[in-house]
C-alpha cells in the first residue's frame, strides 16, 4: 500500500470532529473572535478614507471609484483566508496536540479539509462585517459586483488554501521556528499580485512572474469590472487553472514535508 | 492482584508464538550520525504488559514513536496487530491509542469537549455513555466541564488516560504514564491499567523510569541502552540473572556498565 492510498476513504465524521474542535476553541476565547473582526475593520476604514481623499483630488480615481476599497476587501479575502487556515493549524502546534491527531485515525487530507472549512468560517466572521462597514461608511457595495464576485472569491480562496497548505507543511517539518512564514509569505505575493496598480506598471520581466500568480488575474479582473464595466471571464478561467495546479502541488508538498518530519522525528519535538 | 494472580495471567512462551500485538524486526533509526535505535527485534503477545526500560537517550521513545508511525525507521520492520507500520496505519490506528508527555490535550477546551472530539475521531459508538463511563472510572466527574488548562497535573494525567482509553484500544502505548504524579495518584493509575488489561485482554507497552511501577505492572521487561536491547525477560528472571532483588539495582548495573560483573556474580 502506498502512502497516498492511506488517504482514501475520507470520513465526514472525522472532518466534523475537527471543525467542532476549532469551533469550541473560537467560542472559548473572545479575544480570538475580536481579532478576527479588528484588523479587517481597521483596513477598510483606513483605505476608505484614502480613497475618499484621492477621489476628491484626482479625476481618474473619481471615475474609477471603488478600486482601492474593492482591492482592500479582495486582498483581505486572500490574506485572511490563508491566516484562517494556518492559524487553525498553528493552534495544534501551540497546544502540542499534533501527536494526538497524527496517532488518531484522522488522515492528512481530512485534517486539511477541516482547516479549509475553518478558514471559510473565520473569513466570514472577519470579512462580512468589513463589507458592511464599506457599505455604510463609504457607500461601496462589494455585493453589487454580482456573479463576478463569486469568481473573484473562489480564485482568491483557492490561492489562500494553497499557500496555507504549503506553509503548514513547512511548520510541520521545521517546528514553530518556521511560524513567521505563516504571517509573512502572503506579503511576498502582495507587490507581484498588483493589488492596487495594473500589471503594466511592472517591468516586463516581472510581469511574467505576476501572471504566474492567480490573484493577479483577480485584481486585474476587478479593475476591468469597476473601470470598464467588463467582466473578464478569460482571466478568471486562467486563474482557476493555475489554482488547480497550485492546490495539487501544495498538497503534494504537504505530504512530502509530513514524510520528512516523520523521517527526522520532528513530530516528537514540534516546539521551536 | 496477588503475585500468583499476576503470574497465572502472564502469557506463556507458547503464547508468544501466536499472532503478536507488536512485532519488531531489525529496527534501526539513525539521526545524522546518531544511531538512536540499533537493530532491535522483539515480539509482544496479545494481552501482555511489557515495560521498556532504559536511561535517557536509550531509544525508548524513538522505538515507541516508530511503532506508532510517528517516526519512520531507517531500516527494519514494524507490525502492529498484524499490519505493517506505517504503510497500513489506517487499518490499525483506530484500534490503538497512546499517552505521552510529549503531547498535551488542548488547554482551552473542557475535558468533556476534548473527549467528545477524540471520541468522534475514533468513531466511538454511544459516545456520551462512553464519556460518562470513563468519567466514573477515572473520577473525572467533578471537573469534566472545566478547561483542561485549569487542571492539576494528576487530573490532567487522568484526562490523558481517558483519551487513551476512549476507543477501548486493543493496544495501548504509554510513555512515562505516571511521571510527575504523587505516589497515591500514580498507584491509582497503575491499578486502573491493570484492570483495563485484565478486563479487555489489551496489550500494553510502557516506557518508564519508575522501576517499582514496572515490577508491579509488567510481565516482561525489555532493557535498552544506547539504542540496543540489553536484556529481555520477565522481571524475576532478569533480577535473578543479575543477582539483584529489585529492578532498580539491575537498571543501575546496566546504566553504569556493571553488566558483566553482575552476571558473573550471579553465576
The span from the CA of A185 to the CA of B223, in Å, is 47
Interchain proximity A105–B90, CB inside 8 Å = yes
- Residues B224-261: pLDDT tens digits? 999 999 999 999 999 898 888 888 888 888 877 776 55
- Please list, residue by residue across A10-28, b when 16 or more beta carbons sit within 10 angstroms of its beta carbon and e when fewer do: eeeebbbbbbbbbebbbeb
- Residues B117-143: pLDDT tens digits? 999 999 999 999 999 999 998 889 999
CB proximity list for B178: less than 8 A, separation 6 or greater: B157, B185, B186, B189, B190, B208, B210, B213
- Which chain A residues contact residue B166 at CB under 8 A? none
Phi-psi group of A29: left, alpha or beta (phi > 0 → left; psi -120 to 50 → alpha; rest → beta): beta
**HEC assignment per residue over B119-172:** HHHCCCCCHHHHHHHHHHHCCCHHHCCCEHHHCCHHHHHHHHHHHHHCCCCCEE
Does the CA dihedral A103-A108-A111-A115 come out positive or negative?
A: positive
- Compare all CA atoms of chain A with the CA of B86 and give the residue at the minimum distance: A3
- Compare all CA atoms of chain B with the CA of A107 and give the residue at the minimum distance: B90
Q: Helices (DSSP H) in chain B: which residue ranges? A: 3-9, 60-68, 89-92, 111-121, 127-137, 153-165, 183-200, 211-217, 235-241, 247-255, 259-266
Q: Is B31 on the interface with A (CB under 8 A)?
A: yes
Interchain proximity A263–B120, CB inside 8 Å = no
Q: What is the mean pLDDT of residues B77-87?
A: 92
SS3 A11: coil
The span from the CA of B28 to the CA of B76, in Å, is 6
Rounded percentage of chain A residues whose pLDDT exceeds 90: 57
> Quick one: cell of B20?
503478536
> Quick one: cell of A69?
476599497
Q: Tell whether omega for the bond before B241 is within 30 degrees of 0, i.e. cis.
A: no
Q: Is the pLDDT of residue A157 over 50?
A: yes
- Residues A21-67: pLDDT tens digits? 999 998 888 888 888 888 888 888 888 888 777 777 766 655 566 78
- Residues B148-205: pLDDT tens digits? 999 988 889 889 999 999 999 999 999 888 876 788 888 888 888 999 999 999 999 9
The span from the CA of A232 to the CA of B233, in Å, is 74
- Which chain B residues contact residue A102 at CB under 8 A? 69-70
- CB-nearest to A95 from B31, B104, B163 is B104
Interchain proximity B106–A97, CB inside 8 Å = yes
The span from the CA of B93 to the CA of A103, in Å, is 7
- CB-nearest to B103 from A25, A97, A262 is A97
Interchain proximity A262–B71, CB inside 8 Å = yes
Q: Is the pLDDT of residue B14 over 70?
A: no
- Compare all CA atoms of chain B with the CA of A29 and give the residue at the minimum distance: B108
Map grid coordinates 495594473 to a residue: A198
Q: Which pLDDT value is given to residue A272?
A: 44
- CB-nearest to A96 from B94, B104, B121 is B104
The residues on A that touch B, with CB distances below 8 Å, are: 1-3, 6, 9, 11, 13-14, 16-18, 20-21, 24-25, 28-29, 91, 95-107, 259, 262-265, 267-269
DSSP A213-262: SHHHHHHHHHHHHHHH----HHHHHHHHHHHHHHHHHHHHHHHHHHHHHH
> Quick one: cell of A31?
479575544
- Compare all CA atoms of chain B with the CA of A1 and give the residue at the minimum distance: B87
Pairing state of beta strands B96-99 and B220-225? Answer: unpaired
Pairing state of beta strands B49-53 and B96-99? Answer: unpaired
Q: Is B73 exposed, middle or buried (0-12, 13-18, 19+ CB in 10 A)?
A: buried
**How far is residue B79 from each of residues A51, B27, B86, B144, B153, measured CA to CA in Å?**
65, 11, 9, 36, 34
The span from the CA of A259 to the CA of A265, in Å, is 10
DSSP A44-94: HHHHHHHHHHHHHH-HHHHHTTTHHHHHHHHHHHHHHHHHHHHHHHHHHHH
Average pLDDT of chain B, as a whole number: 86
- Which chain A residues contact residue B205 at CB under 8 A? none
Q: What is the dihedral of CA B52, B53, B57, B62, to 10 degrees?
A: 0
Beta bridge partners, B221, equal B51, B233
CA B176: distance to chain centroid?
8
Run of H or E residues at B80: strand B75-80
SS3 B78: strand
Q: Which pLDDT value is given to residue A175?
A: 87
- Compare all CA atoms of chain B with the CA of A15 and give the residue at the minimum distance: B121
Interchain proximity B70–A99, CB inside 8 Å = yes
> Quick one: cell of A246?
497550485
CA distance B40 to chain A (A): 18
Q: Is the pLDDT of residue B15 over 70?
A: no
Interchain proximity B109–A21, CB inside 8 Å = yes
Q: Work out how many CB contacts closer than 8 A connect A with B.
A: 106
Q: Which pLDDT value is given to residue A60?
A: 65
Q: Is B107 on the interface with A (CB under 8 A)?
A: yes
Interchain proximity A106–B87, CB inside 8 Å = no
> Quick one: cell of B194?
491493570
DSSP A135: H
- Which chain A residues contact residue B122 at CB under 8 A? 104-105
- Which chain A residues contact residue B116 at CB under 8 A? 20
CB proximity list for A233: less than 8 A, separation 6 or greater: A151
Amino acid at each position: 500500500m502506498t502512502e497516498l492510498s492511506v488517504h482514501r476513504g475520507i470520513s465526514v465524521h472525522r472532518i466534523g470532529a475537527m471543525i467542532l474542535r476549532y469551533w469550541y476553541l473560537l467560542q472559548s476565547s473572545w479575544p480570538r473572535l475580536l481579532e478576527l473582526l479588528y484588523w479587517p475593520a481597521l483596513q477598510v476604514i483606513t483605505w476608505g478614507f484614502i480613497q475618499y481623499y484621492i477621489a476628491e483630488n484626482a479625476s481618474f480615481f473619481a471615475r474609477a471609484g471603488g478600486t482601492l476599497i474593492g482591492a482592500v476587501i479582495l486582498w483581505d479575502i486572500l490574506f485572511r483566508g490563508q491566516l484562517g487556515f494556518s492559524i487553525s493549524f498553528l493552534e495544534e502546534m501551540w497546544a502540542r496536540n499534533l501527536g494526538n491527531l497524527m496517532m488518531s485515525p484522522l488522515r492528512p487530507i481530512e485534517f486539511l479539509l477541516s482547516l479549509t472549512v475553518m478558514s471559510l468560517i473565520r473569513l466570514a466572521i472577519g470579512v462580512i462585517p468589513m463589507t458592511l462597514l464599506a457599505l455604510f461608511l463609504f457607500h461601496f457595495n462589494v455585493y453589487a459586483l454580482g456573479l463576478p464576485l463569486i469568481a473573484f472569491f473562489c480564485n482568491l480562496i483557492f490561492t489562500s488554501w494553497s499557500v496555507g497548505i504549503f506553509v503548514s507543511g513547512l511548520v510541520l517539518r521545521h517546528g514553530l521556528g518556521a511560524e513567521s512564514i505563516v504571517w509573512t509569505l502572503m506579503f511576498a505575493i502582495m507587490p507581484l499580485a498588483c493589488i492596487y496598480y495594473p500589471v503594466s506598471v511592472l517591468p516586463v520581466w516581472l510581469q511574467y512572474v505576476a501572471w504566474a500568480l492567480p490573484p493577479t488575474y483577480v485584481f486585474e479582473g476587478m479593475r476591468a469590472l469597476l473601470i470598464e464595466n467588463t467582466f473578464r471571464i478569460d482571466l478568471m478561467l486562467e486563474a482557476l487553472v493555475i489554482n488547480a495546479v497550485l492546490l495539487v502541488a501544495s498538497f503534494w508538498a504537504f505530504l512530502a514535508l509530513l514524510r520528512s518530519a516523520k523521517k527526522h522525528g520532528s513530530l516528537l519535538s514540534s516546539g521551536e | 492482584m496477588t503475585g500468583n494472580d499476576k503470574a497465572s495471567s502472564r502469557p506463556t512462551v507458547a503464547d508468544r508464538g501466536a499472532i503478536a500485538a507488536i512485532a519488531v524486526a531489525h529496527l534501526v533509526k539513525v539521526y545524522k550520525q546518531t544511531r538512536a535505535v540499533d537493530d532491535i527485534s522483539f515480539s509482544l503477545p496479545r494481552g501482555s504488559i511489557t515495560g521498556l526500560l532504559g536511561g535517557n537517550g536509550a531509544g525508548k521513545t524513538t522505538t515507541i514513536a516508530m511503532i506508532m508511525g510517528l517516526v519512520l525507521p531507517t531500516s527494519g520492520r514494524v507490525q502492529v496487530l498484524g499490519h505493517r507500520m506505517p504503510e497500513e496505519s489506517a487499518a490499525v490506528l483506530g484500534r490503538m491509542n497512546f499517552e505521552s508527555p510529549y503531547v498535551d490535550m488542548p488547554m482551552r477546551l473542557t475535558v468533556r469537549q476534548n473527549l467528545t472530539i477524540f471520541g468522534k475521531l475514533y468513531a466511538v459508538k454511544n459516545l456520551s455513555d462512553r464519556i460518562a463511563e470513563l468519567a466514573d472510572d477515572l473520577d473525572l466527574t467533578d471537573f469534566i466541564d472545566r478547561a483542561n488548562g485549569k487542571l492539576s497535573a494528576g487530573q490532567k494525567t487522568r484526562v490523558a488516560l481517558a483519551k487513551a482509553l476512549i476507543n477501548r484500544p486493543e493496544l495501548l502505548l504509554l510513555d512515562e504514564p505516571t511521571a510527575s504524579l504523587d505516589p497515591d495518584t500514580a498507584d491509582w493509575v497503575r491499578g486502573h491499567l491493570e484492570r483495563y488489561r485484565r478486563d479487555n485482554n489489551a496489550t500494553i507497552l510502557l516506557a518508564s523510569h519508575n522501576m517499582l511501577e514496572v515490577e508491579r505492572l509488567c510481565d516482561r521487561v525489555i532493557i535498552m541502552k544506547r539504542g540496543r536491547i540489553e536484556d529481555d525477560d520477565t522481571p524475576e528472571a532478569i533480577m535473578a540473572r543479575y543477582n539483584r532483588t529489585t529492578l532498580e539495582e539491575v537498571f543501575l548495573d546496566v546504566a553504569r556498565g556493571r553488566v558483566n560483573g553482575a552476571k558473573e556474580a550471579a553465576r
